């Protein structure tokens, strides 16, 4: 599909692409980054609520399938969370990220709200999986990940974020589920590659996520470019 003629994809459109074309996914934090992602042809985005609900968002990102996120604990009771999710859809969200229980996902799905879960290294639940490290290295752990994905599938989720999972495990999981699997440091065998804008653009100092080592040269070049521009401005 050519970017110049593309339209905002539906859930059905994305499902139809599973196994046929790898999607691109990004998390960005501003309208400027949203506009750049649109120009680059990014398929899917995770977007902070204040950006996604901005009146100008759909003007700058009309064809990006955009996902909002708000934890159920921040919203209060299940009924209050459901109310927030319905409001998010009305304001332009195409799907909702939910790291809550399978029961919560099922509640949203039963109301026809497209919902995406999270498996593997889930930051809010990292203590249960041994901290901030890869998940699924043993056969038992890999099978548990598959079961979690199947539970999301049975709960009615349209997809899951699979974070910091061995490539071979992620590949097999993606093949064994009908829902979309979005890789966050889980290799190229999933249905989408998910990266953060601040990592791609070199805004983050210090630790570089493993999946971005191959584009570190881009980060270096960006830093050099910015330094060069600043020096020129100082000498005007």
Catalytic residues: 163
Token pair, residue 52, equals: 């996604």
The closest of 109, 23, 16, 20 to 63, measured between CA atoms, is 23
């Amino acid at each position: 599909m050519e970017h110049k003629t593309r339209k905002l994809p539906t859930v059905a459109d994305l499902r139809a692409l599973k196994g046929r074309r790898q999607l691109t996914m990004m998390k960005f934090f501003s309208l400027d980054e949203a506009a750049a992602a649109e120009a680059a042809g990014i398929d899917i985005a995770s977007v902070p609520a204040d950006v996604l609900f901005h009146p100008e968002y759909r003007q700058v990102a009309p064809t990006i399938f955009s996902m909002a996120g708000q934890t159920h604990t921040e919203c209060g009771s299940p009924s209050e969370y459901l109310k927030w999710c319905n409001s998010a859809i009305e304001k332009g969200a195409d799907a909702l990220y939910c790291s809550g229980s399978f029961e919560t996902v099922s509640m949203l799905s039963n109301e026809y709200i497209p919902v995406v879960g999270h498996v593997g290294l889930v930051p809010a639940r990292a203590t249960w999986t041994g901290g901030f490290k890869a998940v699924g290295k043993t056969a038992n752990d890999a099978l548990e990940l598959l079961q979690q994905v199947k539970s999301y599938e049975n709960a009615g989720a349209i997809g899951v974020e699979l974070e910091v999972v061995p490539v071979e495990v992620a590949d097999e999981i993606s093949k064994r589920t009908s829902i979309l699997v979005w890789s966050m440091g889980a290799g190229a065998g999933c249905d989408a590659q998910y990266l953060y804008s601040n990592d791609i653009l070199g805004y983050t100092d210090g630790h570089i996520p493993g999946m971005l080592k191959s584009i570190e040269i881009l980060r270096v070049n960006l830093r050099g470019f910015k330094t060069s521009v600043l020096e020129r401005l100082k000498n005007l």
